[in-house]
Amino acid sequence: MLRHLMYKIKSTGPITVAEYMKEVLTNPAKGYYVHRDMLGEKGDFITSPEISQIFGELLGIWFISEWMATGKSTAFQLVELGPGRGTLVGDILRVFSQLGSVLKNCDISVHLVEVSQKLSEVQALTLTEEKVPLERNAESPVYMKGVTKSGIPVSWYRDLHDVPKGHSFYLAHEFFDVLPVHKFQKTPQGWREVFIDIDPQVSDKLRFVLAPCATPAEVFIQHDETRDHIEVCPDAGVIIEELSRRIALTGGAALVADYGHDGTKTDTFRGFCGHKLHDVLIAPGTADLTADVDFSFLRRMAQGKVASLGPITQHTFLKNMGIDVRLKVLLDKSNEQSVKQQLLQGYDMLMNPKKMGERFNFFALLPHQRLQGGRDQMNARQSKPFASPVAGFSELAWQ
């Protein structure tokens, strides 16, 4: 990968951080995400669903709660962007099965947007019965199809645009933080984009440099920006706009959970290898690259088309969803001390402000009419009854 990047820079000049991230993470031949299973204890990082089953169960409850609050549509597409090992969607589907009587008249289907062939195979093993063969067609926008263990159809896509439009609930957990960012530094001459170049002192080393003049991605910088260093993610804007269009057109909701901030942080671009921080410019392709999500940018890109809620901390969201009640039920049911210990450790990892509790945030996109009567109401003249609160962002209340 380093050789490939050196050749590219020698041929065309210094590259943007966004171009660097794209090559390192998703290059078809050598990309970090394309051929590796990087999740779990043996990988480079671990995610909330791998830590505790409770996380996925509460998200399953969230989707059912929103489905009920918006009129119990007869079709329910669950769409996950970047589904990891399939653990999270597997936990959600288990909740759907347990609440089968609530969903019995609903036509549920699962749609997974995944660019990694390696991870899609892992997801298929997690979710489907091995005795039902998968349909595969590398040339088709739906490159794989199957049936989950509970009998729900599941399809795989490389791009959100290929997922059928319809009443859908979208999930993006640790998805936006790996999308390519452009980095900018404020200088006496104005904003200058940060590029990556070959170090003239060391022939096989990369370094950061500043662009000599304005670059196209500068259009994303707000006129009243007060920070002196920012990261912008046009790809995130495109995806949020697409989700907003779909939700405004056909209903549903989107739930985003990620590392992030509300337009306050500056330099968050970093690498992870073997669960430790890793220099982003060393041994490209061997470590995960990530940047915190700017939720103020996501909110700006959604504005007008749909309403948004959050960001709120993972600690607050899970507390509102009833994590303490669920933990107590599981502890009471278990007789094994090791299982109880595991549950308590998982709870601490998810909720402790110094661990994931305040590092992760939740953010939702909803149709404007969902918040009818609340502060995001679009048309004050309408006299429909006050909408039920949105679970997670306020305390969970079953109808």
Lowest mean pLDDT among 52-61, 245-254, 275-284: 275-284
Q: How confident is the model at residue 28 (pLDDT cuts 50, 70, 90)?
A: confident
Return left, alpha or beta for 128; rule: phi > 0 is left, psi -120 to 50 is alpha, else beta: beta
Lowest mean pLDDT among 32-36, 109-113, 342-346: 32-36
Share of the chain above pLDDT 90, in %: 77
Instruction: Kindly state the average pLDDT of the residues 37-50.
Output: 60
Q: Is the peptide bond before 311 cis (omega within 30 degrees of 0)?
A: yes
Select the more confidently predicted residue: 313 or 100: 313
What's the pLDDT at 32? 84
pLDDT tens-digit series, residues 270-293: 998 876 889 999 999 888 899 999
pTM greater than 0.85 (yes/no) = yes
Q: How confident is the model at residue 314 (pLDDT cuts 50, 70, 90)?
A: very high
pLDDT tens-digit series, residues 343-360: 999 999 999 999 999 999
Lowest mean pLDDT among 35-44, 124-133, 269-278: 35-44
Q: Apex CA 256: angle with CA 252 and CA 259, to 5°?
A: 175
- Residues 6 or more apart whose Cβ sits within 8 Å of residue 387: 69, 369, 370, 371, 372, 373, 374
Share of the chain above pLDDT 70, in %: 92
DSSP state of 383: -
Q: What is the DSSP code string of 139-157?
A: TSSEEEEEEBTTS-EEEEE
Instruction: Kindly state the average pLDDT of the residues 115-137.
Output: 87
d(CA 214, CA 13): 16
Here the tokens at position 3 are 């050789």
Q: How confident is the model at residue 98 (pLDDT cuts 50, 70, 90)?
A: very high
